[in-house]
Chains A and B, each alone.
Chain A
């Protein structure tokens, strides 16, 4: 698979022509690479073509998600929410070149390791509050992440400082609706509780901090309660 990077349109199929390129992760949506870009450590997110999609849809969808992601990252930063700096967006191969947060740990890995080590878990409560606070600020900007999980939150080193960075805004959008914010939190709740057993009180602390930080939280929490009543094996008797 030697780089066919010279041909426009073919770039998406091959690895982006970056030196010292290292495949870090293969997701359902995109591949993540690590390498040097203009002398800096960077992460490259490549949305590769999905053969099962109709080509016209494929092109539009990939481009839209790439653009949305870049837009949301800027919006986050303008609001003072830590997210990676966007270095370059290639709309031909649908690649985003981002700042590499060196030495970062996902919140997922951090929670897991603290639980496993049996160490003092009070920092986890502080972390939960930090997350609640950041999400409240994000939602107050009417920014919906769309894919909130503990794998989409990073901690800069040293982890104990709880310096949170949000990533992966591919499914993000702008909305002021409490329903959309409630669903955003619901997605996180499901991901959180299924990935990290016995963390109900942690998540409660997260929501509590969210409520006190966000100015528009009460309709959102109300919607969250409603959304919880939907879904499998749930009685929708209002």
Chain B
């Protein structure tokens, strides 16, 4: 299946989740995307006045794995320990949608032509929506990086944007995946330990409690919103099927009641589109927002973990120094190590504070933007629905 993103629709998806300062010196977007059998190819388009780029404007083709590579390179870079690393975009998942399309093909014989066409259109629309969302998430990641004062200068990032060949990043192999898994286990166990340590700084102590709770709640809200939207979509699908059955019922003969059925069918056909739009918009403005902040709050938590870890290291180094001084043994080494830890901790603390403040600012702005848009869309759809219903009821009543 090949699809392209229509630019005007993409606007809907663009910068949905985050508030991005636009900076003319480096602007990144995904101008096009191609979906092939098992991968999506994104055309990353860059406009920049920065001197380290050879040209002012250029495009490269990137795949999901390359985005992940870029993200991981940020995470692994010690330099960036004090920053909230923009969360990696989720893996494009068209499997469910593809599977449905395939099933539809198998079941073609068992339904009427109209039903089939309708179902096919629906699935294609669904597929397109997932596709666009995927594109949008990848774009948001790049935009976040491009807007970050430090990360935007990252070499890997520049290579990612400019190098017009395949970066030949490969997916992680089994061993590496296992390692990642263990690292994560250790990290989360450690995270609990570190989180238990009382912070010396009230600001961070507060942020820590807040983020822990916030993350859990946004996770809950995200999954609940998904469920809500899923049932909303199902209801819209039902209305769609009701509309087509009513249509069949209405075409059986040409009596009054059949005309009536046709009119109602027509109405339902329209309202279900609106209903589906409502579900889609809630998905976009609400569920995606929550999902993004689920990942972003995880990234913020990761930052706090790194800082916590550094703090623990620093304290341990202090203790080791005290011990060394008491025993008068390896004092110099301990001093050096203590200083390194101290510096690292202070550096993280310094940038982390600003990062967390920025996180909050971004969050509030994003929520504002999305909630306002959500309310406006809900209103628009409800009014559209209302109008349809009113005129239809008017016509039907006039008939009777």
Do A and B form a real pair?
A: no
Q: A-contacting residues of B (Cβ < 8 Å)?
A: none
Q: B-contacting residues of A (Cβ < 8 Å)?
A: none
